[in-house]
Amino acid sequence: MEIVKRNGLEFLTSDKIDAIHGFTLRHGGVSQGDFSSLNMGLRRGDNPFNAIKNIEKCADALMLDKEKLTLTYQLHTAKVHFLTPEDIGKGFCREWGEGVDGIVTDMKNVPLLCYSADCVPTLLYDKKRGMIGAVHGGWRGTKDNIIANAVDVMIEHGAKVEDICAFIGPAIGICCYEVSEDVGEQFAGEYESLVIKKDNGKYMLDLKSITASQLMEKGVLRENIENCCICTSCRNDMFFSHRAQKGRSGLLGGFIQMI
């Protein structure tokens, strides 16, 4: 994992992903206040024109085909959609009309973008088949195993599980992600080592490692997975954090495109 600079913007990248990709940091955008400054969220209370400007700025810096930018429409579903040419531009220029928290494509020059602030953004790539994915998983999507759905969609379209590489991006860590007893118990049985029960009955959850564990359960190789060690809440100076900013924050973006 390393931070690379492109046109004055910083992106977190992984050598596991051999396509154009990167997770955005907070700085270098045009948004103000709580959204300062590189907010990718179009529906977070920021001026949407600023968010659009930020997204286009990132697309330019990464030399992506911004006319074809296609975004998830994240409603905490576990739905993953394999893009058809008719879907190009959805989530950005056009509406999806329903929640699609994960998108996968084998089309070249079609940049994908998922976004988050504490939830887990994951980029997927099968270089041999030529297929990429961008997936958002909060606790609901992770409980419903959206990442396994994404792997299934890739396999259905010809990817091989042993060729799939994953970069799990910056998200809230077990250090800061306290959830209610009700939520914690939904993970405690299956992911015992990635959940800590506190004396007050609440739980601390390691959503990123649960995502990595779900990928490995599907057969993705451990050596093909990079799990970002940075906690967005601890490092609110670098990344937006919904929790650290008490619900008023921008969103980071996870971009990926094949050429």
Give the binding site for Zn ion (CB under 5 A). 173, 175-176, 231, 233-234
| 204 exposure class (CB count in 10 Å sphere: 0-12, 13-18, 19+) | middle
Question: Could you tell me the smallest distance in angstroms from the CB atom of residue 216 to Zn ion?
Answer: 23
d(CA 173, CA 178): 9
Specify the residue for token string 């103000």: 32
| CA 20 to each of CA 15, 145, 188, 257: distance values in angstroms, whole numbers, following the listed order | 11, 26, 36, 5
Nearer to Zn ion, 12 or 71 (CB): 12
Token pair for 168: 């799990």
Axis crossing angle, helix 207-217 with helix 146-156, rounded to the nearest 10: 30
State the minimum distance, in angstroms, from the CB of residue 176 to Zn ion: 3
**Which of 122/233 has CB closer to Zn ion?**
233
For residue 65, count other CB atoms closer than 10 A to its CB.
14
* CB of residue 43 to Zn ion, shortest distance in Å: 26
Identify whether the C-beta of residue 171 lies closer than 8 Å to the C-beta of residue 122. no
State the nearest-atom distance from the C-beta of 233 to Zn ion, in Å: 5
Helix (H, G, I), strand (E, B) or coil at 65: coil
φ/ψ region of 53 (left if φ > 0, alpha if ψ in -120 to 50, else beta) reads alpha
- Least distance (Å) from Zn ion to the CB of residue 234? 3
Least Å from the CB of residue 158 to Zn ion: 39
Q: Which residue's CB is nearer to Zn ion, number 155 or number 176?
A: 176
Cβ nearer to Zn ion, comparing 106 with 178? 178
